[in-house]
Structure 1
Amino acid sequence: MMSKLQVLIVDDEWKMRNLLRIYLTREGFDVKEASNGREALSMVKEHSFDIIILDVMMPDMDGWQVCEEVRETDNVAILMLTARSETKDKVLGLGIGADDYLTKPFEPEELLARVYSLIRRSTMTQVSVQQESILEFQDVKIHPEGREIYIHDLLVDFTQKEFDLFVSLARNQQRAYGRGELLDLLWGYDYDGDDRVVDTHVKNIRDKTRRSGLLYNPIQTVWGVGYKFNATGELK
């Protein structure tokens, strides 16, 4: 017998949590709820979830703060849920590690479609990396199966999307990818957000590798195209 998919709903409004619980329970999910960010973080430490549906606007600790803290230790799929529809907010949420962004009000069919899409994408990524051997470059070693990246033999912490972007470019180091191609590859063809989120993730990767002592950019900008992996260790 297949175990139920585990979902955590994080929202300070009881009516919204109840509505989401009804939709997801009907679909066969095992649903847990948190009414604030601190409670959510405690539950993430104690349970393993397939997806977190995370409201942005909450008192004391907002969804962006929760997302950042979750990403320090967990690669669970995160769907941000908010009444704010500004592009800058979406870019911010995706830049700190969220996987998708749904604006209130929403239709239940769209919510479920995004939830299943994120879970399917996460599962496909895990299966694909398990079939890979270790990738080694100058001062950089990638363990796809363990989802670990080492620089100078020291483990560097990347978010799920940063890791996926890094590995996708490293596997195809001879190829330059456009931003649109990377969006389709990592966020799916149904993603309709701003492609600047790719630039945000590249910047985060470069910052983290530089702070870890790497003397060159592992992701090279290809002007007029997008990005490619810099495997040679040349200063670029």
Structure 2
Amino acid sequence: MVKVLLVDDDTELCALQAEYLRVEGFEVSLAHDGESGAAAALSGEHAIVVLDVMMPRLNGIEALRRIRQTSRVPVIMLTARGDDIDRVLGLELGADDYVPKPCTPRELVARIRAILRRVDSGTAPREAHASLSIGALSLRPEQRRAEWAGEILDLTSTEFNLLEVLARQAGTPVSKQDLSEQGLGRPLARYDRSIDVHVSNLRGKLGLLADGRSPIQTVRGVGYQYITE
């Protein structure tokens, strides 16, 4: 069974979500503060972490910062609806996605499955396993491994997904809607800045082309395009 870690100080809500997840076939562990949640996330026992922002002892942002120092475990942030500052900061620190609260257990399960579907290469179509090399970039989807000029890139699961989508369509603009659906596993919501933040993170981790430009270029009014020259 896939093991999910829920980190939220709202014990009643946490219990409700855990019950729904168990019915849906997940194994669930609970933590009710950021300190114990970060420690549990770093244990290596969980396939994905759902992390609330507002918590005692250590808030979700600081817990995420601690997790990302040594772990690439997928993380979904639970953020207050309309709280763009926490949302963007979480994505910049390496969260894979966010769910605005209050959310239904059904929506949370859908987000969890969308991320796990992309992480689990065993469920991907055969063509998605194919390695890819474009200029200095090399991708090995079966290993979830990306390299730039032979150096391993430290990418989150979502960053790898988005980079793969862009690289496989190199030279062609890819809309933000397509990036969201293929990389995050969900439609792009109105005013959603997730794709922009993830792409900004990718640009900071990738190397530059010979002329000093980023290989990921903005296509105004459309989305982004991976280029090689």
Same fold (TM over 0.5): yes
> Post-superposition shift, 1:181?
2.0
TM-score normalized by the length of structure 1: 0.79
* TM-fit CA distance, 1:142: 2.4
Question: Which residue of 6, 18, 21 corresponds with 1:24?
Answer: 21
Using the TM superposition, name which of 104-113 and 194-203 deviates more.
Answer: 104-113
Match of 1:108 in 2: 105
**How far apart are the structure 1 equivalents of 2:98 and 2:67?**
16
1:10-159 equivalent positions in 2, closer than 5 A: 10-123=7-120, 127-128=124-125, 131-159=128-156
Q: 1:196 aligns with which of 175, 193, 198?
A: 193
* Structure 1: runs of 5+ lacking an equivalent: none
Aligned 8 A contact 2:134 2:167 in 1: no
Question: Can you list the C-alpha shifts for 1:139-158, whole angstroms capped at 9, x where unaligned?
Answer: 33222222222223221211
Amino acid at match of 1:47: G
Q: Work out the CA distance in 1 between the residues paired with 2:112 and 2:132.
A: 31
Does the CA contact (< 8 Å) of 2:177 and 2:187 recur in 1? Answer: no
Deviations 1:2-50 (A, max 9, x none): xx22111112333333333333233332111122223223223323323
Partners of 2:43 and 2:94 lie apart in 1 by: 21
1:32 counterpart letter in structure 2: S
Matched residue of 1:220: which SS?
A: strand
Query: 1: CA distance between counterparts of 2:76 and 2:207?
Result: 29
Q: Contact (CA 8 Å) 2:52, 2:79: kept in 1 or not?
A: yes
Distance 1:155 1:59 in 2: 36
Moved more, 185-194 or 5-14: 185-194
Contact kept in structure 2, 1:139 and 1:214, CA below 8 Å: no
Counterpart CA distance in 2 for 1:91 and 1:53 is 16
Give the fraction of aligned pairs with identical amino acids, expressed as a percent: 35
Give every structure 1 segment of 4 or more consecutive aligned residues whose post-TM-superposition deviation is greater than 6 Å: none
Matched residue count: 228
Contact 1:210/1:216 (CA < 8 Å) preserved in 2? no
Distance 1:125 1:161, change over 3 A: farther
